[in-house]
A = this chain, B = another copy of it.
């Protein structure tokens, strides 16, 4: 896909109107060049910022020599446009009173607009700031623009603390759980179902595994002052070959969402102990992220926002920052439950309130 150049952005306009302008530039993952271009063009004239670009990732930073540096990050891409007739969460944006509808309204062009407004107005912040506008967040992790920059220019992402402006309804969501997947295999011996005593039933052999998973009480783990609720679940099961054959194999896929006090290896040990006696193979894992709220920049941020921080359960890009040694939280306008929906929308005041909170923190 290609698009004509988008009209330039006015970063000094009301931040909610700026959000509408960003929604109007369609930027489904893989099609971020147009929006990256206008973001870059809007930032380059700002004398207090150094602008960097890697593919469709645009970065801008102050170089004031402050004691601390913070990252404000957001992704430029969206999930595909709704296909249902009558959907309001599409492109271009539309206003219904002070509610803004459009693809990306919550996830996360409101946050990107707040970043841009801060970049234009905070010429003398109390902390050095690195703004990151990145591509390919809504697709497989291997394509992530943030991951690409972390690999090719890790020094661009050095900071003491990072805020991802993902929608959190104005609260601070810290860290995230890790996730690991396992295949648990039960092996039996096939036989004709009419002579079942000649075989060993691998589906019956899975009863004990499912019983242990059913009876397992997932822990809630306090990490850096936030309570992370874990989950441990069978997410898929398959066994059997035919209606007249005693099954010789059953495979159960187990997903463990573990608190950020552990890494993937500890998660594997935990699942291995729970399912002791069975063949457990780890197939996939991504570490979580500690909230890092004890860091001075983070503590100041939480104080400025004034709301009680909450844990994040799903895996987000804060884990990518955490892996780089940068504590990170989510804080942005809009309700995450509306993300990706056909009627995605955000209230103008939520965007403005987010901007005000960040200005207060960084001024």
A-side residues, CB < 8 A to B, are 177, 179, 181, 192-197, 201, 203-208, 210-211, 213-214, 218, 229, 231-247, 250, 252-253, 255, 257, 284, 313-315
Contacts and interface: CB of A to CB of B under 8 A. Distances in A.
Contacts of A250: 237
B240 A237 contact: yes
Contact of A207 (B192, B196, B207): B207
Contact of A237 (B177, B203, B245): B203
A304 to B, nearest CB: 28
A211 B211 CA distance: 8
Contacts of A206: 210, 237
B193 A204 contact: no
Contact of A218 (B196, B211, B237): B196
B243 A193 contact: no
A274 to B, nearest CB: 13
A314 B203 CA distance: 21
Contacts of A241: 236
A235 B231 contact: no
B233 A253 contact: no
A243 B239 contact: no
Nearest to A204: B214
Given A203-B237, A203-B252, A204-B233, A194 B179 contact: yes
A174 to B, nearest CB: 15
Contacts of A255: 193, 243-244
Q: Select the residue from A194, A196, A229 with max chain B CB neighbours within 10 A.
A: A194
Given A208-B211, A236-B240, A237-B239, 10 more contacts: A179-B194, A193-B235, A193-B255, A197-B229, A201-B234, A203-B233, A234-B240, A235-B240, A235-B246, A237-B247
A237 B257 CA distance: 25
B235 A237 contact: no
Given A250-B237, A253-B243, A210 B214 contact: no
Given A194-B177, A196-B257, A218-B196, A247 B231 contact: no
Contacts of A246: 233, 235
A247 to B, nearest CB: 6
Nearest to A218: B196
Q: Select the residue from A229, A231, A232, A315 with max chain B CB neighbours within 10 A.
A: A231
